[in-house]
Amino acid sequence: MSFRIWFIASLAAAGVACPAAAQTRAERALHEKLIVLDTHYDTPALLSRQGWSILERHEVARDGSQVDYPRMVAGGVDGGFFTIFTPQGARDAEGDLRARDAALVRGLEIREMVAASPRLFELALTADQALDIARRGKRFVFLSMENGYPFGKDLSLLRTFHAYGVRMMGPVHFANNDLGDSATDPKGPEWGGLSPLGKHFVAEANRLGIVIDASHASDAAFDDMLALSRAPIILSHTGVRAIFDHPRNLDDARLRALAARGGVIQVNAFSPYMIAPPPRNADREAALAALPRGRPRTQADATTLAAAAAEIDRKWPVPRANFDDFMRHLLHAIQVAGIDHVGVSGDFDGGGGVDGLDDVAAFPKVTAALLKAGYSRDDIAKVWGGNALRVLRQAQALAETP
């Protein structure tokens, strides 16, 4: 996760304020009535950080974090999918075991977060449970998995993680693995889409009622998931290629195909997928190398990285995507795929955030912007949670096990 942690700190060092929203009282009141969720929080990576607590309000400019309970309240956020992320490593027996154990530990950390604050958080396993939790004034927590690396070649582990509470899974991340091709592996495609094991992954996920997440997948792997899945699929945090040409973004033809199969794209706010950054890798890697190794990152480390990022920003000024860029992606996706097939994800605590949309406290701005664009309350309710929860319902309705 070093790249992600670095990137958050680098963006935070710009010191851009994150106002909750420039909106009317009526717009805010409408936002509060909606079920607002984000399908991809990388925040679980922070749960073990020394000195960091999800119960305390943090600031992006101070420690780079973007999601905590006070800011969820400030942003009118009811919950979402908290991600078990495992970076891709060696594809051998030892690497697979390490990935499996790391994923189990991360999932336990999420469940412990919920158990430690039962008046604030509650684990959700179905869409209806999420709605009930929100009605009772608590934040619902779904579990998801980013990268199928922890499965190795043993798809029986899908049952294990499903029993653990996981309700959404993405088979790949930045690199190819035993399940399929990534959109961003520098070596290029290995399987020409999903591997034979990856195709079995789709069938098993359908059988269990797990939503399949095609974020990070290559175009061919996306095509395979869409063709093979009996249930609609989702892209939990992905941009639009017509607005910015990047392999992690989805093109219009695939947007239409996704919609035709009932799927949903959750448009993310990840600046490098909106504008191209300048080359600053050498300075970034030097700053990372200067941190002590062999121990977990601390709040002091985050402060050190933020200061280093500020210096690099002065040396290598970088344009950063803004709220208007995000809205261009979102509105284009709605225009092409339709209002029933689009949602929102900031990719927060995983490198996401743009000027004006830098943490969950800023989410009401999206509601205000959609109202100004002419969308109705019912339309906006679909974007903020209705569409994603509908996909979960459909996936679970097709499950072959209780």
Tell me the DSSP string of 242-294: TTS--TTSBPHHHHHHHHHTT-EEEE--BGGGTSPPP--HHHHHHHHHTS--S
The reply to whether 402 falls in a domain is: no
Owning domain of residue 217: 2-276+319-397
For residue 283, the model assigns a pLDDT of 59
Describe the strand order of the beta sheet including 342-344 as a list of residue ranges.
234-238, 264-267, 342-344
The reply to whether 242 falls in a domain is: yes
What's the CA dihedral at 161, 162, 163, 166 to 10 degrees? 80
Q: What is the CA radius of gyration of the chain?
A: 20
CA distance 72 to 325: 23
Query: Each residue of 230-249: b (16+ CB within 10 Å) or e?
Result: ebbbbbbbbbbbbbbebebb
CA distance 86 to 89: 9
CA distance 140 to 323: 26
For residue 254, the model assigns a pLDDT of 98
The reply to whether 285 falls in a domain is: no
The reply to whether 294 falls in a domain is: no
The reply to whether 284 falls in a domain is: no
The reply to whether 63 falls in a domain is: yes
CATH of the domain at 122: 3.20.20.140
The count of domains in the chain is 1
For residue 222, the model assigns a pLDDT of 99
- Which one-letter amino acid corresponds to residue 243? I
CA distance 146 to 172: 7
For residue 67, the SS3 value is coil
For residue 109, the model assigns a pLDDT of 98
For residue 4, the model assigns a pLDDT of 35
Token pair recorded at residue 15: 């010191």
Contact 201, 159 (CB under 8 A): no
The reply to whether 73 falls in a domain is: yes
Query: pLDDT 10s digit of each residue in the chain, 402 long?
Result: 333 333 333 433 333 333 333 579 999 999 999 999 999 999 999 999 999 999 999 999 999 999 999 999 999 999 999 999 999 999 999 999 999 999 999 999 999 999 999 999 999 999 999 999 999 999 999 999 999 999 999 999 999 999 999 999 999 999 999 999 999 999 999 999 999 999 999 999 999 999 999 999 999 999 999 999 999 999 999 999 999 999 999 999 999 999 999 999 999 999 989 876 655 555 565 665 676 766 666 778 777 777 777 776 677 666 789 999 999 999 999 999 999 999 999 999 999 999 999 999 999 999 999 999 999 999 999 999 999 999 999 999 999 966
For residue 21, the model assigns a pLDDT of 38
Q: What is the pTM of this model?
A: 0.87
The reply to whether 311 falls in a domain is: no
Q: Which helix (H) or strand (E) holds 43?
A: none
